[in-house]
Amino acid sequence: MASSDKEISYSDLKALLAKGSGLVVDVRSKDEVDRGRIPGSIHIPVENVESDISLDASEFHSKFGVVKPSLDSSELVFHCQMGKRGDVATEKARGLGFKKARNYAGGYKEWSDKGGK
């Protein structure tokens, strides 16, 4: 279990992905994402989170090919390599009204170390 309502654990993230729900946003650089990613995640660099998450639903879908989460969605998860940028992105999203957005603090490093696929 994660340490707060702002974080999601590895096992909880795997369960979320297994049921085919949720939106996982990778906020790392393009070079980092090109070296590996959590399956099903979309890429929004941390510096673009505010502008991209503020797009209207049709623009968001057009740009990312997925449905934009609702403001009350508890299935919006940000992550980076080890947690810091994911936390920044989570705070930005919460500031825009996505009050249940969470950070996968273990990041891609934990995901790959544990063999997540």
* pLDDT confidence tier of residue 21, bands split at 50, 70 and 90: confident
Structure tokens of 100?
């249940």
Pick from 94, 85, 66, 75: which is nearest to 26 by CA? Answer: 85
Distance CA 99, CA 81 (A): 23
Q: Which CATH number fits domain 10-114: 3.30.930.10, 3.40.250.10, 3.40.50.300, 3.20.20.70?
A: 3.40.250.10
Structure tokens of 55?
């797009």
Per-residue pLDDT tens for 31-69?
999 999 999 999 999 999 999 999 999 999 999 999 999
Domains in the chain: boundaries: 10-114
Say what the pTM is. Answer: 0.93
Q: Which residues does the annotation mark as catalytic? A: 80
Pick from 17, 4, 21: which is nearest to 69 by CA? Answer: 21
- Please report the sign of the dihedral spanned by the C-alpha atoms of residue 49, residue 76, residue 117, residue 65: negative
